[in-house]
Amino acid sequence: MQRTDTAKTKRLMRIFAGLLFLMFGCDCHRHAEGIVVDDDTKRPIAGVQIVNNSDFERGQAQNLFVTDSAGQFSYSDISGGIFGCPDLVLVFTKSDYLVQRINVSNSIDTVFFSK
């Protein structure tokens, strides 16, 4: 009799652990889009490289995005989130410009890039 109760308890604990994982261990889809312009001229800048801050700090570019000829970009990634989605911090780089980090909520409209 006790062996059956133990098996049931273990089964319920596995189910409970699985439900907790599904509730708190889900992936987060993060997205940002906008246009990068020169802070002085207000003209779009093509070829600006955009990566998330954690990749930039590690010297990796797993999710590298580049602005098009109109300075526009669309950034997307998936990140694990145990108790919610982690902040998305994007790093914008281009030679002759200062490196810029932006903490993104959901989307970006315009990024003003300075020399």
CATH superfamily of 27-113: Carboxypeptidase-like, regulatory domain (2.60.40.1120)
Q: Give the Cα separation of 105 and 103 in Å (integer).
A: 7
Convert the pLDDT of each residue in 50-105 to its tens digit: 998 877 888 877 778 999 999 999 988 877 666 667 778 899 999 999 999 998 86
Q: pLDDT: is 3 or 65 the higher one?
A: 65
Convert the pLDDT of each residue in 16-61 to its tens digit: 555 545 445 557 777 888 999 999 999 999 999 999 887 788 887 7
Domain boundaries, the chain: 27-113
Residue with tokens 């010297």, as numbered in its chain:
59
**CB count, 10 Å around CB of 89?**
14
pTM reported for the whole predicted model: 0.70
pLDDT given for residue 107 in this prediction: 63
Buried b (16+ CB within 10 A) or exposed e, 30-47: bebebbbbeeeeeebbee
Q: Where are the beta strands (DSSP E) in 22-87?
A: 27-38, 49-52, 65-66, 72-80
